[in-house]
Amino acid sequence: MKTNVVIIGGGPSGLLLSQLLNKAGIGTVVLERRSRDYVLSRIRAGVLESGTVDLLRRAGCDARMDREGHPHEGCYLSTERGMFRVDFRDLCDNEVMVYGQTEVTEDLYAAQDAIGATIVHEAMEVMPHDLDGSPYVTYEKDGETHRIACDFVAGCDGYHGVSRTVIPADRKHEIERVYPFGWLGILSRTKPAADELIYANHPRGFALASMRNENLSRYYIQVPMEDDPDKWSDDAFWAELKRRLPDEVADTMETGASIDKSIAPLRSYVCTTMRHGALFLAGDAAHIVPPTGAKGLNLAMSDIHYLSEGLLAWYGSGEASGLETYSDRALLRVWRAIRFSWWMTSILHRYPQQDEFDQRMQEMELENLRDLDAARRAMALNYVGLPL
Ligand code: FAS
Ligand code: PHB
């Protein structure tokens, strides 16, 4: 086979890239290791920046999002001194869209089906070759080895993918921070505890009250990184979550059976080489953020904005600058999101080695946000998404 761009990974970044390129007449083949059902069974992000919403509109994947998504013009922060609101509309005249990553992925798959895009599921042993010469990608399926010649390879295969591993160690520089805790998350068919998200700093640890729709709630509590989700009964989870949320919320919230329960580790990671010859990394394949700032999915989308722009210019007019500057342009925004996600994590979580001074500084960061419009505006601008 031959195509213009082979995309490794059929998650949100790979599918969005395939959609944007195919709409411009550029040929792609998406190679996804898992089945479609498995990909669609993942429960991950829940908040879309306004830039991501615009990208999905451009891709023609906005109809269901507009019908079923929920625009949010603010969120709450909660401390022992009580809850206060960060008003995105008032502070930066913007909003976010609460719409699950699962739904985004489903909409992208539907759009890809509608244009007859080529997506190979259960493609095993995917491997890019000859990235500095005549690129091609091989994979195994139904007992046969397949080979696709291409101009470029997009590594959209997530943190545990193959793409980043083919960049020689002397050509990549990796920076990482692993946090000393995880997030135990549950999904339940219950009415959300509040009309907007609540990020809570509590002496027992962080908690987040989020949602997918008016009958589907998403909650998280900070737990030790070695904790086991099976050790947590639903009742134990609800009791701990209520201890950490403001009384006026905990006393009235609806609880119920969990339909998903898992622990996500928290890390900040950047591979500062997002290009190697004909290979371009995008999304979690290149960077990871703690979910505190709701940036993971949105960063993957902004990478695809820059990469698709570069590829469209190349195929449209032979203009190479977008591809040549892709890594630097994407990383500028990545580092801003890495900082914001680290900052949100640092002011909202209890760190095992935290001493009294650290504790006071954390409290003052939150009081700064409670009392100063300027501090809340800086948070709002980052939370809704810096300009692309
Ligand atoms: P993805 O990991 O989504 O997709 C990569 C795809 O590549 C997968 O389908 C995988 O099967 C495939 N693949 C991997 N290796 C392959 C190979 N060798 N060959 C072929 N295919 C291969 N972000 C938020 O903003 N908020 C959240 O609350 C949040 N929660 C998260 C919870 C969890 C448990 C995880 C893991 C992530 C969470 N994230 C969250 C971040 C998440 O949303 C990612 O940022 C987002 O999925 C990134 O999308 P992709 O870059 O497409 O990577
Ligand atoms: C979610 O709803 O899953 C969610 C929302 C905001 C975050 C993280 C996760 O910061």
pLDDT, tens digit, for every residue of 73-130? 999 999 999 999 999 999 999 999 999 999 999 999 999 999 999 999 999 999 999 9
Torsion angle, alpha carbons of 107, 101, 387, 303, to 10:
-80
pLDDT lower than 70: segments of the chain: none
Across-strand partners of 195? none
Task: Compute the distance from residue 238 Cα to the ligand 2 centre, in Å.
Answer: 18
pLDDT at 279: 98
Our CA dihedral for 40, 46, 50, 55, rounded to 10 degrees, sits at: -10
Which residues, 6+ apart, have CB-to-CB distance to 37 below 8 Å? none
Which residue's C-alpha comes closest to atom 2 of ligand 2?
46
Q: Can you give the pLDDT at residue 26?
A: 98
Which ligand is the nearest neighbour of the Cα of 264? 1
Measured distance CA(375)–CA(372) in Å, rounded: 5
Quote the pLDDT of residue 295. Answer: 98
Which amino acid type is present at position 177?
R
Which one is catalytic: 199, 306, 315, 326? Answer: 199
Of the candidates 295, 305, 326, 349, the residue annotated as catalytic is 295
**Binding site membership of 96 for ligand 1 (Cβ less than 6 Å):** no
246 ligand 2 Cβ < 6 A: no
Looking from the CA of residue 39, the nearest atom of ligand 1 is 9
Q: b/e map of 199-224 (b: 16 or more CB within 10 Å)? A: bbbbeebbbbbbbbeeebbbbbbbbe
Mutate to test the pocket of ligand 2, among 42, 44, 47 (most ligand atoms within 8 A of CB): 47
* pLDDT at site 326: 98
258-271 and 174-188 beta bridge pairing: antiparallel
What confidence score (pLDDT) does residue 250 get? 98
Rounded distance from Cα 284 to ligand 1 centre (Å) = 6
Q: Is residue 164 packed enough to be buried (19+ CB in 10 Å), middle (13-18) or exposed (0-12)? A: buried
Ligand 1 neighbourhood includes 52 CB (under 6 angstroms): no
Q: 268 with 177: CB under 8 angstroms?
A: yes
Is residue 276 within 8 A of residue 187, CB to CB? The reply is no
pTM of the model: 0.97
* 159 assigned to active site: no
1, 144 Cβ separation under 8 angstroms:
no
Structure confidence at residue 275 (pLDDT): 98
Residue 76 vs residues 132, 226, 282, 293, 379: alpha-carbon distances, Å: 49, 29, 31, 13, 12
Catalytic residue, chosen from 136, 291, 306, 315, is 291
The Å distance, Cα 368 to ligand 1 centre, comes to 34
pLDDT score recorded for residue 116: 97
Question: Ligand 2 mean position to 264 CA, how many Å?
Answer: 12
Cβ of residue 47 lying under 6 Å from some atom of ligand 2: yes
What does the alpha-carbon distance between residue 67 and residue 81 come to, in Å, rounded to a whole number? 37
* Helix (H), strand (E) at residue 303: helix 296-317
Q: Taking each helix axis from N to C terminus, what angle separates 326-348 and 296-317, rounded to the nearest 10 degrees?
A: 170
283 lines ligand 1 (CB under 6 A): yes
92 CB within 6 A, ligand 1: no
Assess whether the C-beta atom of 46 lies below 6 angstroms from ligand 2: yes
Residue 326 known to be catalytic = no
